[in-house]
Amino acid sequence: MPDQNLSDKIIDLRRMSAEYYQKAAWNQLLALDNYRQKNFEAAERFAQLSFDDQMLATEYAELADAESFMHLELELEG
């Protein structure tokens, strides 16, 4: 059962990472659209949101990697 809980945690972390990468991509598209329309203030705002979402996505991915590594170590010990 503990293995299932750890697997669920890893899946949840990867899902959160994917969701933030999706948000980052969407915000980047909005930034580009606003830039094209010469609405530079909005473009900058969406670009910053995209960057922030990319950073969060990376953090979740790194947490998932760390959990996966711990899971692998536990399996090798057992």
How far CA 59 is from CA of 16, 38, 42, 65, in Å, comes to 10, 32, 26, 10
Q: What is the pLDDT of residue 70?
A: 87
Q: What is the pTM of this model?
A: 0.84
Measure the CA–CA gap between 2 and 8, rounded to whole angstroms: 10
Residues in the chain predicted with pLDDT less than 50, given as ranges, are 1
Q: What is the number of domains present in the chain?
A: 1
Q: What is the pLDDT of residue 44?
A: 98
Q: What is the pLDDT of residue 3?
A: 67
- Give the residue numbers spanning the domain of 10: 2-77
Q: What is the pLDDT of residue 62?
A: 98
Q: What is the pLDDT of residue 75?
A: 80
